Amino acid sequence: MGTTPPEQPREATPEEAAKAAAELTLSDITQFFDERKVSPVCPICSSRQWHLLTPAGEGTKTTRLKKLTPQGPVDAEYPAIPTFLVICTNCNFLREHAAMALGKWKFERGLK
Ligand SMILES: [Zn+2]
């Protein structure tokens, strides 16, 4: 009889990181920012209240950078960077961060 040793952290595969990135919550993001000492203060209005944007109809909380053309943004036809957007609930300033690193971080901490 003995205790089971704690599971060793395992590095996430790109697929695992992408899946975790698609399931990010505002709580995950807040925890990640706290751990990495990322300022929660809006650079425009100094509010600390953010809302995680979920693109309508995509079934995921991640967005992708879009190619800008003179006619406006178009869906990327090339490999794009998954990102997430948070918006200041006071002044509507948008913050965009790459999602994969946060998905990798989430997976490796076993967060659900
Ligand atoms: Zn603001």
> pLDDT > 90: what percent of the chain?
26
35 occurs within a structural domain: yes
Q: How far is the CA of 87 from the centre of ligand 1 (A)?
A: 8
Which residues neighbour ligand 1 (ion) by CB within 5 Å?
Answer: 42, 44-45, 47, 88, 90-91, 93
72 occurs within a structural domain: no
What is the average pLDDT value for the chain, to the nearest integer?
77
Question: Of 5, 36, 40, 41, whose CA–CA distance to 105 is shortest?
Answer: 36
74 occurs within a structural domain: no
71 occurs within a structural domain: no
pLDDT of residue 110: 85
Q: How far is the CA of 44 from the centre of ligand 1 (A)?
A: 5
Q: How far is the CA of 49 from the centre of ligand 1 (A)?
A: 8
pLDDT of residue 10: 83
Q: How far is the CA of 84 from the centre of ligand 1 (A)?
A: 17
Q: How far is the CA of 76 from the centre of ligand 1 (A)?
A: 29
Say how far apart CA 98 and CA 56 lie, in whole Å: 19
For residues 49-67, average pLDDT: 59
**Residue 3 scores a pLDDT above 70:** no
For residues 8-27, average pLDDT: 82
73 occurs within a structural domain: no
Q: How many CB atoms lie within 10 A of CB 70?
A: 4
Q: Confidence class of residue 19 from pLDDT cuts 50, 70 and 90?
A: confident
Look at the chain and report how many structural domains it folds into: 1
For residues 4-31, average pLDDT: 80
27 occurs within a structural domain: yes
Say how far apart CA 88 and CA 91 lie, in whole Å: 6
Secondary structure element (H or E) that encloses residue 33, with its range: helix 26-35
Comparing 105 with 74, the larger pLDDT belongs to 105
This model's pTM is above 0.75: no
Question: Of 84, 87, 85, whose CA–CA distance to 21 is shortest?
Answer: 84
Give the domain range for residue 101. 14-66+80-108
9 occurs within a structural domain: no
